[in-house]
Amino acid sequence: MTDIGAPEPLTPAVFHILLALANDEKHGYEIMKAVRQDSGGAVKMGNGTLYGSLKRMLADGLIADAGERAGSDDTRRKYYRLTDAGREAMYAEIRRYRDTLESVRRYALLPGGPPAEKATP
Amino acid sequence: MKNALQFYRLLLTLYPRAFRAAFGAQMLQTFLDQYADVEASEGAVGLAFWLFLLADEARSIAEQHRRASAARLALAAALFLPLFAVFYAALVRVSLALPHPPVSGAGFLLALAGLLLLPGILGAVVSYTLAGVVTAGLAVARGTGGIGRA
């Protein structure tokens, strides 16, 4: 059944950007690297996809501009941070994953898991 | 690196102006970071890097143009009716104030069509131009800007 009040599921790119910003502020390339690492290389994000997503997320209030800072190479870069709405959207998505995972477990469908017993609907 | 930078700069000019103004400098810096990283770890930047970059940029450029057009058209549509009404009222007022021969039949219908057509065209042009200025300004304000040495 669809939960009318639940927020829309996030795209993999948006979810992974939120995840990348969960613990600290990051600039564009740091986000790109974190997404690739967190997804085990499954979500490979180019510059266009990254900044297109950042633009939408800024407009939706999921992330905010955290100002400019100079790195070790003395180049100034813009940093982004998670907003409260962004954190809430990230947790909602994690809850969705958790619920899905629980269903998968209930049906004993995890790869490498025990052979399927009786599925309890 | 210099040629790659020039090429990427050229690629960025294909984005809508507002998007470029908001994120162009950041994208250039991220490209430089990425390029330097690949060069340092793999010794050279290969074909796979460029193919992935071109595919991603092509998709993104098309998407940003689609979004920019949709937002601009929606705003232009909202602005059109009030502008049409203003131009129509002004034209009727001016037409009535000017000396004119009495019109009837086809002449009257022609005058009426002209009275509707002219404010219509004017309203469409002005609303589309205004919408372009507003959407570009909003995008720049949201993106807030440039960065880096590049």
Nearest CA in chain A to B146: A78
Q: CA angle at residue B34 from B12 to B23, to 5 degrees? A: 35
Residue of chain A with shortest Cα separation from B31: A47
| CB atoms A48 and B149 under 8 Å | no
% of chain B exceeding 90 in pLDDT? 48
- Chain A contact for B4 (CB, 8 A cutoff): no
- Evaluate if residue B99 carries a pLDDT over 80: no
Task: Tell me what pLDDT residue B69 has.
Answer: 87
Question: Which amino acid is located at A117 in the chain?
Answer: E
Cβ–Cβ contact B68 with A under 8 A: no
Q: Which long-range contacts (CB under 8 A, 24 or more apart) does B54-61 make?
A: B55/A46, B56/A45, B56/A46, B56/A47, B56/A48, B56/A49, B57/A46, B57/A47, B57/A48, B57/B11, B57/B14, B59/A48, B59/A49, B60/A46, B60/A47, B60/A48, B60/A49, B60/A51, B60/A52, B60/B15, B61/A48, B61/B14, B61/B15
Q: How high is the pLDDT of residue B149?
A: 36
Residues A71-77 have a mean pLDDT of 81
pLDDT in tens, B44-87: 888 999 999 999 999 999 999 998 888 888 999 999 999 999 99
Asked if the Cβ–Cβ distance from B29 to A77 is below 8 Å, we say yes
Interface of B with A in 31-60 (CB under 8 A): 31, 33-34, 37, 52-53, 55-57, 59-60
Domain boundaries along the sequence of chain B: 2-143
Q: Which of A29, A54, A75 is closest, CB to CB, to B34?
A: A29
- The verdict on pTM exceeding 0.80 is no
A88 in Cβ contact with A3 (< 8 Å): no
Q: Is B34's CB within 8 Å of A68's CB?
A: no
Q: How far apart are CA A96 and CA B93, in angstroms?
A: 62
CB pair distance less than 8 Å for B55 and A46: yes
Report the mean per-residue pLDDT for chain A: 87
Cα separation of A62 and A43, whole Å?
Answer: 20
Q: Which domains does chain A have, with CATH numbers?
A: 12-106 (1.10.10.10)
In terms of CA atoms, which chain B residue is nearest residue A66? B144
- A79, A67 Cβ separation under 8 angstroms: yes
CB contact under 8 A, A78 and B52: no
A68 shares contact with chain B (CB less than 8 Å): yes
Answer yes or no: is pLDDT of A11 > 50.
yes
Residue range A96-113, pLDDT digits in tens: 999 999 999 898 888 776
Picking from A26, A30, A37, A47 by the largest number of B CB atoms within 10 A of its own CB, the best residue to mutate is: A47
Cβ-based contacts of A48 with chain B (< 8 Å): 27, 56-57, 59-61, 63
